Chains A and B, each alone.
Chain A
Amino acid sequence: MELVLDNIRKNYNDKQVLKGVDFTFEKGKIYGLLGRNGAGKTSLFNCLSGETPMDSGGAFLRRNEISLPLSESEIGYVFSLPILPEFLTGYEFVKFYMDINRDKIQTGRTIEDYFNIISFEEEDRHRLIKGYSHGMKNKIQMLCFIITRPPLILLDEPLTSFDVVVALEIKKLLREMKQDHIIIFSTHILQLAADLCDELVILNNGVLQEIPADLLRSPEFEEKVISLLRDGNGHA
């Protein structure tokens, strides 16, 4: 399975944010999407998830030579600012989410099982989401894709809000999940990207650029990436 991005363009008023994004992401890998503030990481994710329409181009999922346009139901999207209906409890939200997506769920797991996967405290499950911390809300969002297992998982700056223990758990979880999914992970924390991701992609000047795998493990990795981010056309 592959995710093929074909010449995606997006303008906001006079500003070109995405200037023809072409890239192919493969199943079984965690991709780190690096970019400076305002480079368009969130815009790219919003275009992929259908939240904002692209001006031109498209995104396709290719399975065994058959390409189909990416549909909203094939995406799990974790927002950098977790957005959840605050009048529900965590438990109620997860139940509602499971009800709605019943056809996509592997049977056999209960709500409690899911909460245990993300080690969510028992007494917190029955409190209003309104009172949850940022990290707790983020965990609930993660749970959404753990439940429905969509082929494409987009994570917008997720781990920054977790404490070290939870971050490690989530990292483990992502690594366990990766063989069946395409996971793209946006961040501007280089260490996190280098540590967790199999591939690094840079979004700069509105286009995507791959960073060669050997560079990822090399000692001058950091300098190279920064020079790439700085001038955007440096060839590593």
Chain B
Amino acid sequence: MLRTLNTVMEVRGVSGANRLIYYFRGIPVLGKTMKDSVYSNWALKKTFTVIALILRILFAFSTRFAYLGLIIYLPVLMTAGDLPLTQQYDLYLHILVLLSFAVSAVSNAIILESKRDKYICVKLMRMPADKYMHATLSLKGISFFVYFVPAMMVFAGLFGAPLWHGILLALLLTLWRTAAEALHLLVFDRKGIVVVKQNALVWSVIGIGYALAFLPLYTGSAWLDMDTVLISLPAVLAVLLPGIIAVIYIARYPRFRNAVDAVTKIDDPLLDMSRMMKEANRKQVETKEQDISAEQLQPGQFTGKNGYAYLNAIFFSRHRRLLVQPIQRRLMIIAGLSAAGLLLQLTAPELFAQLIRYLIGGLPVFVIVMNFTSIGELVCKAMFFNCDLSLLRYGFYRERAAILSNFRIRLLRLSGLNLIPAAAICLALNLLIFLSGEGWSAAEALIFSGTVLGLSLFFSVHHLFMYYIFQPYSTELNMRNPFFTIVNSIITGVAVIALQFKGAPGQFALFVLLAAAAYTLIALVLVYRYSHRTFRVK
């Protein structure tokens, strides 16, 4: 068994080291110092493996402290800090039992979890399934206990309980969870059900378990004298016996091969997080065949349009669901908020007036609101994945004139789409302010609307400009270009600074419109000059 364990650890270690190297090489500038050949440098890799192992162990100890400290100890301290320590200890134990003994026993079982390394060792490297499972489960059981001991002792100590309570609790938890693992295996063996994959069940248990766990914090006391109940001979025996039976059951279980096969199907997305991310990303913006009716595919739909106008007309029409839904959602939110505002005016005019005064002075907030209202990023993602990713492979599509003509058409379309919610915001705001009876001149209304519409245009240009100059997406649709993030952070920073603006709305509007105009001008010039070099698939 030790040999199997050694092999498994080696596989984990080497893939961990490779991953470290891979990410290190991805860091701009610094990563270039590391050559391709490091992957074959065994001495260096051993060092990386050891570093990864040490990091993992430290991380494991600290997560136990974080779990007990942040999830259990802190809430108890904050809500019941004035109770005597013994009562606090009861609350702490109550939450611990419900979360760790009850909820996690259902949601965190590892015996039937889909895991990359299970797939690699058993399916690819043909390690016998029972040997693999025995080795990894033993390691898991022992390390589970060891990692929990220090944290359990510290928190028991904080409540004035003897330190051996901590050790006993860690031991009980380990045995209890082993019994739970065995039960998961039994259910799988008898019924063929993988309990951890029954999302409805798992999430109900999590929801109910957490609610029950934290309920006593509101009622003010635990329902039982927890430490007397838990740290007693019957309770210990009640955990010890099933634990030992479970160990024997797992050790002698003959059909581990099935248990491994059931959760290591090659197409299981849980095995490959990067593929799952990729698919989730793609799903978000994918062209859906069922969105498009047969008539829409007939020629003559877009007569009168040529070249890039034709292409974009089809693109925006075929991705209507993708583009219209977010607009509709934004309109619904605006409508909902306006309705809530009106309701407030009828029921609590005092509060409403206060809110309106805040709104009138709160023009700078709209820098951030309009950023979130813009659908630019989504549109760019959809354009990249469904259209540009393939067409950029053609020389004619990369020519400067082509890129610019395409950019122009897209900018108009995107601005048009973004102006819809922007106009709705203007309408809703002016209506609410008008109804509130606050002093609101036509000039003020104009300034307000002008700023909102200006910002909407600004963010349309911004997103498209970023897309054409930094082309941040890789073929997997995750962001690859660090400059993209940097420029975006600068814009967010400016927006936050704008929040501090204390002058008159008129000044602010002027400032925003000038800044937006300057930015737009620079962006257009940059796109004009450089996009034929920067707009590529990377």
Residues of chain A within 8 A (CB-CB) of B395 are: 49-50, 72-73, 75, 77
Tell me whether chain A's interface is mostly helix, strand or loop, or mixed: mixed
- Tell me, in angstroms, the Cα distance from A79 to B391 when the chains sit together: 12
* Chain A min CB distance to B458 (Å): 29
* Chain A min CB distance to B22 (Å): 13
Question: Is A87's CB under 8 angstroms from B386's CB?
Answer: yes
Residues of chain A within 8 A (CB-CB) of B314 are: 87-88, 92
Does B318 reach chain A (CB closer than 8 Å)?
yes
- Tell me, in angstroms, the Cα distance from A86 to B36 when the chains sit together: 36
Question: Is A96's CB under 8 angstroms from B311's CB?
Answer: yes
Q: Which of B78-86, B163-171, B292-300, B501-509 contacts A (4 or more CB under 8 A)?
A: B292-300
Residues of chain B within 8 A (CB-CB) of A51 are: 393
Q: Are A100 and B398 also in contact (CB < 8 A) when A14-B35, A86-B386 are?
A: no
Residues of chain A within 8 A (CB-CB) of B399 are: 72-73
Select from chain A the residue with minimum beta-carbon distance to B319: A87
Question: Is B315's CB under 8 angstroms from A87's CB?
Answer: yes
Question: Is B287's CB under 8 angstroms from A126's CB?
Answer: no
Partner of A99, one of B37, B310, B389, B391: B310
Residues of chain B within 8 A (CB-CB) of A72 are: 395-396, 398-399
Does B387 reach chain A (CB closer than 8 Å)?
yes
Question: Is A86's CB under 8 angstroms from B390's CB?
Answer: yes
> B297-335 toward A: CB 8 Å interface, digit per residue (1/0)?
111001000111011001100110000000000000000
Partner of A14, one of B36, B387, B394: B36
Select from chain B the residue with minimum beta-carbon distance to A49: B395
Q: Are A14 and B318 also in contact (CB < 8 A) when A73-B399, A99-B310, A100-B396 are?
A: no
Among B37, B310, B394, the one with the most A-chain Cβ atoms within 10 Å of its Cβ is B394
Among A79, A87, A144, the one with the most B-chain Cβ atoms within 10 Å of its Cβ is A87
Does A105 reach chain B (CB closer than 8 Å)?
no
Residues of chain A within 8 A (CB-CB) of B350 are: none
Q: Are A83 and B390 also in contact (CB < 8 A) when A99-B307, A126-B298 are?
A: yes
Select from chain A the residue with minimum beta-carbon distance to B287: A87
Q: Are A85 and B391 also in contact (CB < 8 A) when A15-B36, A99-B307 are?
A: yes
Residues of chain B within 8 A (CB-CB) of A85 are: 311, 386-387, 390-391
Residues of chain B within 8 A (CB-CB) of A79 are: 393
Question: Is A128's CB under 8 angstroms from B292's CB?
Answer: yes
> A176-208 toward B: CB 8 Å interface, digit per residue (1/0)?
000000000000000000000000000000000
- Tell me, in angstroms, the Cα distance from A87 to B313 when the chains sit together: 12
Does B424 reach chain A (CB closer than 8 Å)?
no
Which of chain B's residues 24-41 have a Cβ closer than 8 Å to chain A? Answer: 35-37
Select from chain B the residue with minimum beta-carbon distance to A13: B36
Question: Is A96's CB under 8 angstroms from B307's CB?
Answer: yes
Does B427 reach chain A (CB closer than 8 Å)?
no
Partner of A126, one of B297, B306, B389: B297
- Tell me, in angstroms, the Cα distance from A91 to B303 when the chains sit together: 13
Select from chain B the residue with minimum beta-carbon distance to A96: B311
How many residues belonging to A are interface residues under a CB distance threshold of 8 Å? 31
Does B521 reach chain A (CB closer than 8 Å)?
no
Partner of A100, one of B302, B319, B393, B402: B402
- Tell me, in angstroms, the Cα distance from A142 to B319 when the chains sit together: 28
> B383-415 toward A: CB 8 Å interface, digit per residue (1/0)?
000110111011110110010000000000000
- Tell me, in angstroms, the Cα distance from A194 to B386 when the chains sit together: 39
Residues of chain B within 8 A (CB-CB) of A161 are: none
- Tell me, in angstroms, the Cα distance from A132 to B252 when the chains sit together: 52
Select from chain B the residue with minimum beta-carbon distance to A95: B310
- Tell me, in angstroms, the Cα distance from A159 to B38 when the chains sit together: 39
- Tell me, in angstroms, the Cα distance from A126 to B297 when the chains sit together: 6
> A74-106 toward B: CB 8 Å interface, digit per residue (1/0)?
010101000111111101100110011100000
Does A69 reach chain B (CB closer than 8 Å)?
no
Does A131 reach chain B (CB closer than 8 Å)?
yes
Does A36 reach chain B (CB closer than 8 Å)?
no
Partner of A130, one of B289, B299, B315, B387: B289
Does A127 reach chain B (CB closer than 8 Å)?
yes
* Chain A min CB distance to B50 (Å): 26
* Chain A min CB distance to B25 (Å): 9
Q: Are A91 and B289 also in contact (CB < 8 A) when A96-B307, A99-B307 are?
A: no
Residues of chain A within 8 A (CB-CB) of B310 are: 92, 95-96, 99
Residues of chain B within 8 A (CB-CB) of A126 are: 297-299
Residues of chain B within 8 A (CB-CB) of A144 are: 394
- Tell me, in angstroms, the Cα distance from A101 to B311 when the chains sit together: 14
Residues of chain A within 8 A (CB-CB) of B302 are: 92
- Tell me, in angstroms, the Cα distance from A33 to B430 when the chains sit together: 69
Residues of chain A within 8 A (CB-CB) of B391 are: 85
Question: Is A87's CB under 8 angstroms from B402's CB?
Answer: no
Question: Is B307's CB under 8 angstroms from A100's CB?
Answer: yes
* Chain A min CB distance to B534 (Å): 14
Question: Is B396's CB under 8 angstroms from A73's CB?
Answer: yes
- Tell me, in angstroms, the Cα distance from A88 to B313 when the chains sit together: 11
- Tell me, in angstroms, the Cα distance from A110 to B287 when the chains sit together: 28
- Tell me, in angstroms, the Cα distance from A197 to B371 when the chains sit together: 58
Partner of A86, one of B287, B299, B306: B287
Give the interface of A toward B (CB within 8 A). 13-15, 49-51, 72-73, 75, 77, 79, 83-89, 91-92, 95-96, 99-101, 126-128, 130-131, 144
Pick the 4 closest A-B CB pairs, nearest first: A72-B395, A99-B307, A87-B287, A83-B390
Given A77-B395, A87-B387, A89-B297, 12 more pairs with CB closer than 8 A: A50-B398, A51-B393, A72-B399, A73-B396, A73-B399, A85-B386, A86-B287, A92-B302, A92-B310, A95-B310, A99-B307, A100-B308
* 22 examples of A-B residue contacts, CB within 8 angstroms: A13-B35, A14-B37, A50-B398, A72-B396, A72-B399, A73-B395, A75-B395, A77-B393, A77-B395, A83-B389, A85-B311, A87-B314, A87-B315, A87-B387, A89-B297, A91-B299, A99-B306, A100-B396, A100-B402, A128-B292, A128-B297, A130-B289
